[in-house]
Structure 1
Amino acid sequence: MATVRAFVPPLQSRRAEICRTAAQIFHDRGYDATSVSDIARTLGITKAGLYHYFESKEALLFEITAYGLDRVRDEVIVPARALRDPEARLRQLVIRHASIATQGRGAIAQLVDEVRALPPPARKRVEERMRAYFDLVRGTLVELRSAGRLRDVDPTVATFSLIGTILWLPRWFRQNGRLSREQVANEIANIALGGLLRPRRRTVRRQRLKASRR
């Protein structure tokens, strides 16, 4: 497979438009059910015109996926790594990732399901980047366990569950729904941390004292 340039989308570029359109079609119809002709027809260009920008459907999928992972790196991983406190880091990981997953119609976020369609070298590169994110989340949970903050759960299972919850968001979130993207992201974080973390000792003592005064 030829080298594919990382997708950094200038908003008005034709290449970016192709990626956005293809991501939405892959999301709506499924990668396997979408042809290059379908994408070209939606864009109002010929197949030859599409091949001018991307040599294959696989190259297009790879570039879209790489762009999604670039966003996770820049908007989720990098800011989270700057936080020393593991609880604050975990909260930011959840909120920021959930925010990305609910932007637009979440087409790019859902394309993680289509990674299997990539040629082995490209799939390996994507999976390595996905693994780095997984390891950051799991490592944060291990830190919390060492500090006595994590409930009696397996960090690996908890990490898969947490990431899976976020990746499922685009399937049910509605832009015009009752809750905004920000509200949903914060709710997911509250549910996740509430279920994974033990209450701080000071909070527990305060609750017991309050109960004793009733």
Structure 2
Amino acid sequence: MARTQSKDYPEIREKILRTAARLFAEKGFSTATIVDLANACGSSRGALYHYFESKEEILGKIVGEHVATMLHELEAIGEQRLEPKEHLRAVVRQIMEINAVNKAEQIVLLNDWNQLDAPLQAEIGASQRKIVAVVRDALARLDTSHRMTPKSATTYAMSLLGSLNYTYAWFDPEGPVTPAEYADHVFDVFLHGFLRD
């Protein structure tokens, strides 16, 4: 007979995922053990298995939910029907905000998603390509000079994403520059250049 879920099941599950993300970001998925995770959660291995079947499932949930959240929020911006420039600014701010708040999840995505099984990699990869398409399409709406060709469109999008996705290595959300301010710096430099008049 299946075990019943406690009323705080969703909160405990979320706590495990957040703790696991920090642990995997610090130690690496391959190095961290389920015992390490149980200790970090102040729990037991058995208790963890009540919420997840394996360490691999935990990794899949961390990466999958992080990417799904990003895609959902970016698609919601598209539904606002903003003017092209404000649309791109909103997209850039949202990506930076999610990455700043979920630093550990972003590290795990970039470093460990290749540890997932092939079907899940393919599923998450499809969502990542949709995120790139959102950015590419936002840039295309502003491209009145037609710099973006079919050959270069994804390159432009990935260049912009690279300025946002790798900030975990140095950006401090509690520092003098807020995530929104940094996002605006990236937006302005990307669109107008550092030495604009």
The two structures share one fold, judged by TM-score above 0.5: yes
Q: How does 1:188-199 map to 2 (within 5 A)?
A: 188-195=186-193
TM-score (norm: length of structure 2):
0.83
Q: Secondary structure at the match of 1:158?
A: helix
Give, in whole Å, the separation in 1 of the partners of 2:181 and 2:82.
25
Alignment CA distance shift 1:172-1:45 (3 Å): same
Q: Which one of the candidate residues 81, 87, 90 is aligned to 2:88? A: 90
Give, in whole Å, the separation in 2 of the partners of 1:166 and 1:88.
17
Give, in whole Å, the separation in 2 of the partners of 1:50 and 1:178.
38
Amino acid at match of 1:148: S
Is the Cα–Cα contact under 8 Å of residues 60 and 116 in structure 2 kept in the other structure?
A: yes
Q: Please say if 1:131 is aligned against 2:153.
A: no
Q: Secondary structure at the match of 2:166?
A: helix
Give, in whole Å, the separation in 2 of the partners of 1:11 and 1:77.
29
Q: How does 1:15-30 map to 2 (within 5 A)?
A: 15-30=13-28
How many matched pairs? Answer: 187
Structure 2 unpaired stretches of 5+: 1-7
Is the Cα–Cα contact under 8 Å of residues 25 and 107 in structure 2 kept in the other structure?
A: yes
Q: Which one of the candidate residues 120, 123, 127 is aligned to 1:122? A: 120
Is the Cα–Cα contact under 8 Å of residues 80 and 92 in structure 1 kept in the other structure?
A: no
CA RMSD of aligned residues (A): 2.6
TM-score (norm: length of structure 1):
0.77
Match of 1:108 in 2: 105
Give, in whole Å, the separation in 2 of the partners of 1:57 and 1:95.
32
| Runs of 4+ more than 6 Å apart | none
Is the Cα–Cα contact under 8 Å of residues 65 and 108 in structure 1 kept in the other structure?
A: yes
Give, in whole Å, the separation in 2 of the partners of 1:39 and 1:47.
8
Per-residue deviation, 1:46:
1.5
Is the Cα–Cα contact under 8 Å of residues 132 and 157 in structure 2 kept in the other structure?
A: yes
Per-residue deviation, 1:12:
7.3
Q: Secondary structure at the match of 1:83?
A: coil
Larger C-alpha radius of gyration, 1 or 2?
1
Is the Cα–Cα contact under 8 Å of residues 100 and 179 in structure 2 kept in the other structure?
A: yes
Amino acid at match of 1:169: T
